[in-house]
Structure 1
Amino acid sequence: MTTPTRQRCLAKDELLSISEVIEEIGVPRATFYRWRQLRKGPKAIKLPNGSVRIRRSELERWIETMEEAA
């Protein structure tokens, strides 16, 4: 049985697709890919099948750093 705390940890580290990330942060796909190329976007994981995923915790951390920089 999964505890509520464990469920929050699992949900926090869910793997998001690029489509989910750009929808959440509200930027065009091209902007996201430019940020990746310049290494200014959130850290991503490239899966063996070529798909790219971003951990929810990493996206939240990245957003926090953007807030601090402003």
Structure 2
Amino acid sequence: MSTANPTHRAHLTIAELCAELGVARSTFYDWRAAKKAPRCIKLPNGELRIRRTDLENWLDSLQVAA
């Protein structure tokens, strides 16, 4: 079931990820250094992208049972 939503791109830039989560870029890089960030794709030009599915799986893994 795929719903095309232009505000939800399949691959996010670091800036888009940080804006969506409301965190600073430095926080993302701190998480990445600690191996606690969502999985990233490194493009041939060195830029990083995060698949939306990886972001959502990562967020699901952070849920705490009520």
Structure 1 and Structure 2 fold alike (TM over 0.5): yes
Letter in 1 for 2:10: E
Q: Name the TM-score, length of structure 1 as normaliser.
A: 0.78
User: Larger helix proportion, structure 1 or 2?
Assistant: 1
Name the counterpart of 1:53.
49
Q: Partner of 1:67: helix, strand, or coil?
A: coil
CA RMSD of aligned residues (A): 2.4
Letter in 2 for 1:23: A
Name the counterpart of 2:11.
15
Q: Partner of 1:40: helix, strand, or coil?
A: coil
Name the counterpart of 2:32.
36
Name the counterpart of 2:60.
64
Q: Which has the larger radius of gyration?
A: 1
Query: Which structure 2 residue ranges, 5 or more long, are not aligned?
Result: none
| 1:28-53 deviation digits (Å, cap 9, x = unpaired) | 11110000011100000000011100
Q: Partner of 2:60: helix, strand, or coil?
A: helix
Q: How many residues align?
A: 64
**1:13–1:57 Cα contact (<8 Å) kept:** no
